[in-house]
Amino acid sequence: MAIHFISDLHLADDTPVLNALFTDTLAAWRGKIDALYILGDLFEVWVGDDDSSPFIDAMLAAMRDFAAVTPLYVMRGNRDFLLGEGFAAATGATLLADPTVIDAFGQRVLLSHGDAMCTDDLPYQQFRAMARNPQWQAGILAKSLAERHVIAKQIRAMSETGKAENGLSAISDVTDTAVQATLVEQAAGGVPPLMIHGHTHRPARHDVSANGHTSQRWVIADWHDGKGGYLRLDESGVSAHPLG
């Protein structure tokens, strides 16, 4: 049939329209596709698998119902990097490393959230290195839920301030050097894989030269204002589609 890819939903308690779009989409795709891959930033904030609220419980239940019939894979993003095995157990999802390479419909496909390739944004890369450190994460998770929510709110506020000041600035996009290096690193027999990622909020298809070969880089559309998008991979290749 087909595999679908989504990213950057940024679901939260105060995004009821997007939350409904997500659960409705899961219901529509349940049993109708081969697999669903969520490539990071499913949630606007994730402070730990021990957090609970009516919003969180509803999202976990919808994913659990979906995963009972259709394979569900989730990659951590820059907003929900604390997703852990508790989340996986509660949803039936399989957590993916970043990057991950899959074989599907005769193609090798490299999957990534994308933030690691935004190498011109040095302050963010410093934060990313700290936030992905297991010791730092253990220290954060040892704090109370209330403390973690305060920290998450502070991080979110800094991120929103940066967006307001800079918009979609050049440093918030992936760099050609990082993309090419990633493709070369994951090449098989010298042939780079097709690449799919999110994070940059710049949905498009790009042709990339690496190792003397031309590959494709597809960027998934983010979800906002009650709308979203997804990529479909089937025997015909990759195609982009709207939601909402």
Neighbours of 137 (CB within 10 A): 16
Task: Map residue 167 onto helix, strand or coil.
Answer: coil
Global pTM reads 0.95
pLDDT at 164: 57
Q: Give, in degrees to the nearest 5, the angle at Cα 229 between 224 and 234.
A: 165
Return the closest-CA partner of residue 214 out of 180, 168, 166, 163.
Answer: 180
Task: Map residue 97 onto helix, strand or coil.
Answer: coil
- Determine if the peptide bond prior to 99 is cis (ω within 30°): yes
pLDDT at 167: 63
- CA gap 180, 192 in Å, rounded: 9
Q: Residue holding tokens 């919003």?
A: 55
Q: In the sheet that 35-39 helps form, which strands lie side by side, from edge to edge? A: 94-96, 72-75, 35-39, 3-6, 228-234, 237-243
**What are phi and psi for residue 83, nearest 5 degrees?**
-60, 130
Q: Is 235 exposed, middle or buried (0-12, 13-18, 19+ CB in 10 A)?
A: exposed
Q: What DSSP designation does 37 have?
A: E
pLDDT at 59: 98
- CA gap 100, 191 in Å, rounded: 16
Number of helices followed by number of strands (H, E) in the chain: 7, 11
Instruction: Profile the chain (244 residues) by mean pLDDT over runs of 10 residues.
Output: 97 96 98 98 97 97 98 97 98 98 96 97 94 96 96 82 64 93 92 96 95 95 93 97 89
CA dist 238 to 2, 43, 230, 232, Å? 10, 25, 10, 6
Pairing of strands 3-6, 100-104: unpaired
pLDDT at 189: 86
- Residue 151 · residue 140 · CB < 8 Å: yes
Q: Is 204 exposed, middle or buried (0-12, 13-18, 19+ CB in 10 A)?
A: exposed
